[in-house]
Structure formats: C-alpha cells, structure tokens
Amino acid sequence: MKNKSLMLKNMLKELSRRPRFNISLYIIIPFIISGFSALSSLVSSSLTRYHLTQGIDFSHPVFWAASLIGLLAFIAGVVLVRLILKPVEIFVEKAKKLAPQISRIQNEARDEESLDQIQQFTHVFDQVTTVLSRMESRHFFPRIIGESVLMRGLMSLIMKVAPTDSTVLILGESGTGKELVATSIYEISLRKDKSFIKLNCAAIPEELLESELFGHEKGAFTGATSFKPGKFDMANGGTLFLDEIGDMPYSLQSKILRVIQEREFFRVGGSKTIKVDVRFIASTNKNLEQMVRGGHFREDLYYRLNVFTLNLPPLRERKEDIPALVDHFLHQFEKDIEITSMALQMLMAYQWPGNVRELQNIIERSAVICEDAFIEPNHLPVGITGAFESPNHSPSLPTNMPIDEKLAQIEKNMLIDALRKTGGVQIRATELLGINQRSLWHRIKKYNIDVKNIKNQNS
C-alpha cells in the first residue's frame, strides 16, 4: 500500500514538472468553429467531385452530410458552453455558501425576467466584487468608515501608494479626514515600524515654524539655551506628515523644497549639513494651483509635492456612508443610543459643509441632549431640520401624516434628487444612493417617477 502511495506521489510530481500550455478561449473557440467550416468544405467538395464523376444524383447524400456536420457542430458548441459555464456555476454556488447576501442577490437576478443567464452571472460577479472590496476595506482600514464607491476607490489608491516611498499630497475640504488617511498610509507602509511625526503648519506661529521643522543649535537666537532637534530629526527613517501645508509661509517653502529634493537641511544657527531619510505626506484644504497662480505658493514645491494626489470626497458626495458613520459615532458612547429613521433621513438630506467632523459633533450633541435612548428630529440642530423642510429641498410634510407615508415621500424625494444630479442616468444614481440597479428600477416603478422627464429637464 505504501509503495502504491509512493508511486502515485512520484507520478503526480512527474506530471507537475511537465510543461503546461494555457490557451485562451478567444483562440480555442474560433479555431474549432473554423475547423468545422473547413471540414464542411472538404466533405462537400469531395462528395460533389465523386458524384459528378459517377453521374449520380448527389442531393440526398450532401443533405445528410451537411446535417451530420451541423449536428456535430451543435454538440461541440453545447459542450464548449458547458465547459465554460460549469466553473462559473460552481464559483457562484461556493460564493452563496460563504456570503448569504450573494445568495439573495443571485435570486433577485434570477427573478428578473429581462436578464439572461450570462447577465445574471455578470450581475452576481459585480456584487461579489463589491462585497470583496468592502471586506478588503474593512480589513486594511478599520478606522476609515465608508463603503461607498468613492471611498472604496480612495482606499484602493491608498493600497497602491502606501508600500512606496512616493510623496503623497492629500486634498480635501476641512473635516473630510485628511489626517486619518495620512495615518492609514503610514500604518500599511514599509516604514510602519519607524517614527510617524505630524506637524500642523497652520497651528504654529511663523517665527517658530522653522525651528520646529529643522531644530536649532544652542545660542541660535535669544532663548535658545540648548540644542533642540526638529521634526526632520525625529522623522529620520520614518514618515513626516505636514498638515495644512497651504498655510506654510512663502519664505519657508524654499527650505522645505531643498529637503525634499536633496534630502538634507541646515539647523537654525547651524552650518553643518544634516542628511535625512524621510517619506513626505502633505495635506491641505486649499487650492494649491490657484495659490501658485496668485504667487502665494511656490510652483516648484507644488510639483514636488504633487507626485501622488489623493482627493478626499466631501460627505455630501458620499451620503450613503452616513448611516455607517452615525452608527460608528453612536457606539462610542457608554449608553446604548439609537437614531430614528426620520432623524437619519434628515441627516441624509443635509449638505454637510463641515463634512465628517460636523456630523460627529452633531451626533455627540444630539446624544447628550436626548432624554431616552433615541435621537429624534427635535434633537437635531435647526439648520438641519429647517433645510430638510425648505422648498429648495423638498415639500414640507404635514405633521399629521403617518410615519410610513412620510418615509415613502422622503424616499421618493431622495430618488428624484439623485436622478436629477445624474441627469437621469440610473447607473450613476445607484452609486449615489448605494443600491443596485434592480432595486432602483422597482422604486422608480413603485413611485411612478418619470425618468424621461427628468432627463429632458437636464438636457
């Protein structure tokens, strides 16, 4: 028995050593079809020549020969399709067992009469890709809350740039989480075991900023009673994050440029060149291109910083992340607090000029003043509830309207708003709303929304 097992292992090893050739289906299938065509031509030519020389009526033999070749071609086509689709079916079945939501998605696709089998598989694959992308985002970026298309795209870019030493410029409005993104880049970088030094350029007076960055020698200026290392010294071998670099004084920008280009600097009051190995990450909420044109930011420094740019989307462009963000902030309190559907819909409708930071502050304030375990609309600031009921957003809902009707009207208004923003393009609207195309189609039908009219209004 052992000998047979050993022989089998040796045979498998021998087979594994043999060269393997992988041929694309784009080559195999056309080649087989061409082969059947050539075979048909040869058989037809041979039969025609034979019957002409023999003076025999060849209509019946040619008919049967053509029928036989057609049947063989049909069988070969069925076998090929089966060979191609069978692994796909096995994959889908395994995916259903691993993720219950995939099973639900496949059932929805199967129920859709307008979708054929290939379209069903494509629909499932799209959803599988989405689920895997969300799982990857949660695994590598547990502190970044967001599963929208925009945020998953951002995390994908972070994954690509983090293992490199490229300089990263993070752009985004105030409160979008630029420091959190910079920290995430550091945590999955090759320098994660080294130091990570942060400096807010807007928080330090201009006369002290140079000393903070480069350090100073003893006696360099009045009050410099001892040697002080700078941020570059502390970050040597690691990563330096220059937050709000758009607020850096113009006179200091040339010295930062020198460090980025030459990897060396002078301490304040010193004459010795200090070599440094630092990976740079910078961020700003200002338009640096406009500042360059206005002469307030050095053009050469801008291009040195703008090696790999990450644009953080404002919260109003990824509203589908608001429920997850709200849930995350609520879990930070000691007592169990939930938010009502109406209050959440109001948060979803707000434009959020202060972005995630503003949302966090509002949730904290509402959690403090709510008397029971639920945040109600009356616990939200007037700016949010007033904007929700203003004519610019949607018609004011009657106070005596049943809650189900209110929620239905809110949902309809959100659908119309998303379709207007996307010019009636439903695929783009699903991305804004965070739902699949089938779900959007059913809601449009349910509320009798005239998509064609919305398109005409935007044209």
Q: What is the pTM of this model?
A: 0.64
Q: Which residues contact 93 (CB under 8 A, 6 or more apart)?
A: none
Residues, the chain, total?
Answer: 459
Please indicate whether residue 86 or residue 63 has the higher confidence score (pLDDT): 86
Q: Which residues contact 378 (CB under 8 A, 6 or more apart)?
A: 385
Over residues 87-110, the pLDDT tens digits come to: 766 766 666 665 555 555 555 445
CA-wise closest residue to 268 among 216, 233, 344? 216
With b meaning 16 or more CB within 10 Å and e meaning fewer, what string describes 346-359? Answer: bbbbbebebbbebb
pLDDT band for 47, please (50, 70, 90 cuts). low
User: Does 395 score more than 50 pLDDT?
Assistant: no
pLDDT for the residue 144: 87
pLDDT band for 370, please (50, 70, 90 cuts). confident
Phi, psi of 343 (to 5 degrees): -65, -40
pLDDT band for 36, please (50, 70, 90 cuts). low
pLDDT for the residue 430: 80
Residue range 357-365: average pLDDT? 94
How far is it, in rounded angstroms, from Cα 417 to Cα 355?
20
Residue range 368-372: average pLDDT? 84
pLDDT band for 302, please (50, 70, 90 cuts). very high
- Asked if 438 and 109 count as a contact pair (C-beta separation under 8 A), the reply is yes
Percent of all residues in the chain with a pLDDT value above 90, rounded to a whole number: 31
How far is it, in rounded angstroms, from Cα 276 to Cα 459?
56
Most confident residue range from 77-81, 133-137, 262-266: 262-266
Most confident residue range from 133-142, 324-333, 380-389: 324-333
pLDDT for the residue 426: 84
User: Does 391 score more than 50 pLDDT?
Assistant: no
Ranges of beta strands (E only) in 228-272 are 239-243, 264-266
User: Does 124 score more than 70 pLDDT?
Assistant: no
pLDDT for the residue 238: 95
User: Does 347 score more than 80 pLDDT?
Assistant: yes
Over residues 243-279, the pLDDT tens digits come to: 999 999 998 999 999 999 999 988 887 778 899 999 9
Q: What is the chain's mean pLDDT, rounded?
A: 78
pLDDT for the residue 162: 93
Please indicate whether residue 151 or residue 12 has the higher confidence score (pLDDT): 151
Residue range 46-65: average pLDDT? 65
Most confident residue range from 43-52, 64-73, 132-141, 205-214: 205-214
Q: Which range is least confidently modeled, 82-86, 109-113, 168-172, 355-359? A: 109-113
- Biggest distance spanned by C-alpha atoms of the chain: 120
CA-wise closest residue to 339 among 382, 379, 374, 380? 374
pLDDT for the residue 62: 60
Phi, psi of 391 (to 5 degrees): -60, -25
Ranges of beta strands (E only) in 168-285 are 168-171, 196-200, 239-243, 264-266, 273-275, 279-284
Q: Which residues contact 355 (CB under 8 A, 6 or more apart)?
A: 173, 174, 175, 176, 177, 314, 315
